[in-house]
Amino acid sequence: MKKNLKSLLSQNKFILFGGKGGVGKTSISSASAIWAAEHGRKTLIISTDPAHSLGDSLDQKLPKGETVQVENVSNLYALEINPKINLDEYQSAMNVNPLESMPFGNSLPFMEDIGSFASMNPPGIDEAMAFGKVLEFIETESDYDLVIFDTAPTGHTLRLLALPDLLSGWIGKLISLRLKLGKIFGMFKKMFSKTEVEGEDPFEMFKKLKNSIVNARDELKDPSKTSFIIVMISEAMALYETERLLSGLYQYEIPFSNIIVNQIFPESIDCKFCQSRRNMQLKNLKEIRYLYEDDFNLIEIPLFDTEISGYEQLKKLGKYLFQ
Ligand SMILES: Nc1ncnc2c1ncn2[C@@H]1O[C@H](COP(=O)(O)OP(=O)(O)OP(=O)(O)O)[C@@H](O)[C@H]1O
Ligand SMILES: [Mg+2]
């Protein structure tokens, strides 16, 4: 059964809005967050786009990396994540070369693991940081009834959604490497030292991290908890991008059931230019309906004659989203 936007916002825990650049993801995320908050759900809206514009949309200064209450909407909180935080730590971790300090040559049994580990590309920093935050909110069963993710344009978001598999594979390799190395180091330790060195084991931390990633992946795949809502405009380029996004969502098994077609030119008798753009859009709209009507709730939103920023405008957008 296709859940409509209202039921998703009333029942689900995680909603992600995504699509091509500039199509209206942030505006629609914000309008949806206001609707949910005003319908009694304690809601957090998070921008995972490093080029944030959530603050502009809500018409409120958002200190980067800090969750704040949205003015005039009780129950609504907003966060623009800050990818710069922890960057240094991340970079120094990424620069560690496990082979550098090894005098054994490459004949030992774990060399194969090191090889396949090293050949796995590390994630991009922006996506990794964004995912870290996503993980945090999914993991902690946070204080919020609903978490809305205003995502970056398609490419970045698909890399973000690929991370659970990539990272858990990666950490899995690290763990198995550690198990093999552990035996050898254990042997060395027995030979040369009588005292056991106790301490925080970073690999225990990795194991925990792997568990939380696997849990988060399960939550993201669960249609009773998560839904990805595609925002697009009625243009050929946006159609191609939607197909690309959909195949990514299939691949990562992220549930979806709604497509929002935004910025449709209204009927116009005295503007030839507007009417000709409208005709182009209507032609694409026919194609969009033909392709998606059976499997999706399609929501069509007109192009407004103003920018959409601040509470009043977002409420106006909401009228079209929830009518
Ligand atoms: N239906 C609409 N009518 C008029 N203006 C709109 C509409 N939807 C969005 N806009 C405007 O278009 C611009 C882009 O919208 P928005 O920031 O929501 O898109 P986005 O997909 O989040 O962009 P980005 O990919 O840069 O994050 C904003 O100035 C917004 O006010
Ligand atoms: Mg945006």
Predicted model pTM:
0.83
> Is 78 inside a domain boundary?
yes
Is the C-beta atom of 312 inside 6 A of ligand 1? no
Burial 252-286 (b: 16+ CB within 10 A, else e): bebbbbbbbbbbbbeeeeeeeeeeebbeebeebbe
| Rounded distance between C-alpha atoms, residue 23 and residue 262, angstroms | 7
Domain total of the chain: 1
The residue to mutate among 26, 231, 235, 242, having the most atoms of ligand 1 within 8 angstroms of its beta carbon, is: 26
| Domain that residue 247 falls in | 10-263+299-322
C-alpha closest to that of 73 among 46, 47, 40: 40
Nearest CA residue ID for atom 19, ligand 1: 24
Report residue 105's pLDDT band, with 50, 70 and 90 as the boundaries: very low
Nearest atom of ligand 1 to the alpha carbon of 19: 21
For residue 67, tell me if it sits in a domain.
yes
251 found inside a domain? yes
CA 19–ligand 2 middle distance (angstroms): 9
Task: Check if 301 has its Cβ closer than 6 Å to any atom of ligand 1.
Answer: yes
Residue 167: band (very low, low, confident or very high) from pLDDT cuts 50, 70, 90: confident
The answer to whether residue 288 sits within a structural domain is no
Task: Answer yes or no: is 72 within a domain.
Answer: yes
55 occurs within a structural domain: yes
* pLDDT tens string 76-92: 999 998 766 555 555 55
Residue 156 clears pLDDT 70, i.e. is over it: yes
Ligand 1 close to Cβ of residue 313 (< 6 A): no
Within a domain: 284? no
Q: How far, in Å, CA of 21 to CA of 115, rounded?
A: 37
pLDDT tens string 242-290: 999 999 999 999 999 999 999 999 998 889 999 999 999 999 999 999 9
To test the pocket of ligand 1, the residue of 27, 274, 305 to mutate (highest count of ligand atoms within 8 Å of its CB) is 27
Asked if residue 41 lies in contact with residue 10, where contact means CB atoms within 8 angstroms, the answer is yes
- For residue 304, what is the domain's CATH number? 3.40.50.300
Whether residue 4 is contained in a domain is answered as: no
